[in-house]
A and B are shown apart, each in its own frame.
Chain A
Amino acid sequence: MGEKWDAGELGCGELLIELAGRMRNLAPGQVFELRALDPGAEEDLPAWCRLTGHALVSAQHPVYLIRRREK
């Protein structure tokens, strides 16, 4: 397990731009644990992973495990 972040109530673009920055700081393949209470996160985070190429390892709202992409 790598880094983790409790995003609290942050959602939509506010959540994603912070998350994107944190994912960039990880090594390829490293898994990030995110806690996101926003109700939109359940749909948004799988979509964001599809868009960016990061892998959604597990989604048990509000906890999400995301593996950083290789590049």
Chain B
Amino acid sequence: MPGSFCVSLTCSKDNTDKATVGFVVANAAVASDKDTMVFLSIEGVRLSQKGYADDIHEAGFSPLKELMDNFVKAGGKIYVCSPCFKKRGLGEDKLIAGATIVGGAKLVEFLSGGSPCVSY
């Protein structure tokens, strides 16, 4: 069954529960053969930095880094909101594998293709 799926994630260490569940659902989507994108914006962009997620481990879930690694390994894409990224002074040289900095047009294009989107 073809199709796409978007998870919009606005949290990182300000709400590790949301950040974790966002990637759990993204893993469910990519494991269900959906062309899946996690769109990181607002505080969520911090997750795009190497090492940042290493100490996030919500009770009852796998460590966030493991969830993110599995997502990328399964073919999931991570898009990072450019203005949110720049505002926080984050480093392009510290981007994790599978993450790409994009503008809003990329999100609009993805969703305009008919993709459903869930936000955390």
Please give the residue numbers on chain A whose beta carbons come within 8 Å of chain B beta carbons, in ascending order. 12-14, 16-17, 19-21, 44, 48, 50-53
Contact = CB atoms under 8 A, between A and B. Distances in A.
Given A48-B31, A52-B1, A53-B1, A20 B74 contact: yes
B1 A14 contact: no
Given A51-B33, A52-B33, A13 B1 contact: no
B62 A16 contact: no
Nearest to B23: A13
Contacts of B34: 51
Interface size class of B (residues with CB under 8 A): 10 to 19
A14 B24 contact: yes
Interface of B: 1, 23-34, 61-62, 67, 70-71, 74
A37 to B, nearest CB: 13
B1 A16 contact: no
B33 A13 contact: no
B1 A48 contact: no
Given A51-B1, A52-B1, A16 B33 contact: no
A11 to B, nearest CB: 9
A14 B25 CA distance: 9
Nearest to B76: A17
A14 B33 contact: no
Contact of B31 (A19, A50, A53): A19
A15 to B, nearest CB: 8
B21 to A, nearest CB: 8
Contact of A17 (B1, B30, B61): B30
